[in-house]
Amino acid sequence: MHDTILLNKISDSLDSLCRTHNIKKIKRLSIIVDKNSHVTSDSLYEYLRNFNSNLTGEWTEIVVEKETLDSEVAILHSIEGEKVEREV
């Protein structure tokens, strides 16, 4: 249950960050979760493909590192992506 909540928080945060910074596609995402979390690169990728399919796809590389954190905390270490072209 905690992992589902955590995946949802990650998804919502990514959506907000990408909107704020005009990122249209996530190329690489690096996050840190608790060492006891069941969140993996594969499970996060599948979750994001279902709920953030406009941002993630075959082009997305996800790296999940594990450290001692609170079970409901994830640290978005880095996001690399394509920015939306803005008209002048």
How confident is the model over 34-51, as pLDDT tens digits?
999 999 999 999 999 999
Q: Which residues contact 67 (CB under 8 A, 6 or more apart)?
A: 32, 33, 34, 35
Per-residue pLDDT of 52-88, as tens digits, reads: 999 999 999 999 999 999 988 999 999 999 998 776 6
Global pTM reads: 0.89
Place of tokens 């919502």: 12
* Helix or strand run (H / E) with residue 59: none
pLDDT at 40: 96
Q: Which domains does the chain have, with CATH numbers?
A: 2-83 (3.30.2320.50)
Is residue 45 within 8 Å of residue 60, measured between CB atoms? yes
